[in-house]
Amino acid sequence: MQLPVKHLRNGDSIPGIGLGTFGSDRYDPRTVSSAVRQAIDMGYRLIDCAAVYGNEPLIGEILDEVCRDSTNPVRRSDLFIVSKVWNDSHGKRDVYRSCTQSLKDLRLEYLDLYIVHWPFPNYHPKGAPPDYHNPDAKPYIHERFMETWRQMERLRQAGFVRHIGTSNMTIPKLEKLVQDCVIMPSANEMELHPTFQQPELFDYCRELNILPIGYSPLGSPSRPQRDKTPDDLVDMEQDVVTSIAKNHGLHPAQVCLKWAVQRGQVPIPFSVKEKQLLSNLEAVSGEPLSDQEMEKLKEVDSDNRLIKGQVFLWDGAKDWRDLWDINGQITT
């Protein structure tokens, strides 16, 4: 199977599709780590991990098993492993600690990409309800974010990680980072699916040679209840997506993934089911969508943000729109 490949700003290659591993609130972590093994055997090479997903030690067992098995053709250098520093580990001391813990858990000597998971230094407990306001929650403050970023740069300079990146950023936040950083982010992980295309942020990233990695590429049909609001739609049920899928004899999920790869982002769909893992991989290796279909899919965008991050609200930001700088200026 010929899988797509993209390139990062220094020319390094990155697989054009990856596997998401945030399933800890729906599946036993061992189910997720078994899916990682199945996925690698099938041909997935990019695995999107995070400390907060609570399954890095089990995924580490799998990575160790794969890389140590001399009969398995997959070597460490064939894999592209991503991890992320969680909101409770920002700042001068904790970024290093968090990265070395992820390396230990994942049983790796280096990460291919290390990401600041959210731009907010705060904490929320597992299963927090949507209206949860954590007294420890902290707003985004550029100077504080830069303290975290400086540590990310050190990790890169010291060789613990090959690339550093951001996630859940907005254009105003990225503008400030780009102005003050020594090392530019190689990638920005952001919500991207046909009903939430974020064209301005997407174009901004591409102009700066920051690769967009698209999370929830299928519209996260089984995302945590706490992130849902009644007006949420699942993009896989969109008429345009389903009619294109019918024309090609595909599943709507496969159309979402073809669209993502052809648009220029790296989708990281999550699944623990063998059939779906394979169908997602086959989608991006098969016949592409036509230019007309790609144009038609642009019309599906309804600015429908699914992952609102409302559990990170603090007293000064009572509305989830504040987190995304939608209500006005950058939140401080």
Ligand X SMILES: NC(=O)c1ccc[n+]([C@@H]2O[C@H](COP(=O)([O-])OP(=O)(O)OC[C@H]3O[C@@H](n4cnc5c(N)ncnc54)[C@H](OP(=O)(O)O)[C@@H]3O)[C@@H](O)[C@H]2O)c1
Known catalytic residues are 53
Query: In the bound complex, what is the minimum distance in angstroms from residue 184's beta carbon to ligand X?
Result: 19
Query: In the bound complex, what is the minimum distance in angstroms from residue 212's beta carbon to ligand X?
Result: 12
Q: Closest-CB residue for ligand X?
A: 20
Instruction: Tell me, rounded to whole angstroms, the distance of Cα 198 from its chain centroid.
Output: 14
Q: Is 20 in the site for ligand X (CB under 6 A)?
A: yes
Task: Name which position in 167, 186, 304, 331 contacts ligand X (CB under 6 A).
Answer: 167
Q: Is 119 in the site for ligand X (CB under 6 A)?
A: no
Give 53 or 314: the residue with its C-beta nearer to ligand X: 53
* Span from 124-132, 210-218, 291-299, 320-328 in contact with ligand X (CB under 6 A): 210-218
Distance CA 313, CA 320 (A): 7
* Span from 57-65, 91-99, 140-148, 268-276 in contact with ligand X (CB under 6 A): 268-276
Q: Is 286 in the site for ligand X (CB under 6 A)?
A: no
Q: Is 253 in the site for ligand X (CB under 6 A)?
A: yes
Q: Is 127 in the site for ligand X (CB under 6 A)?
A: no
Task: Name which position in 4, 221, 288, 316 contacts ligand X (CB under 6 A).
Answer: 221
Q: Is 218 in the site for ligand X (CB under 6 A)?
A: yes
Binding site for ligand X (CB under 6 A): 20-22, 48, 117, 167-168, 189, 215-223, 251, 253, 268-273, 276, 279-280, 307
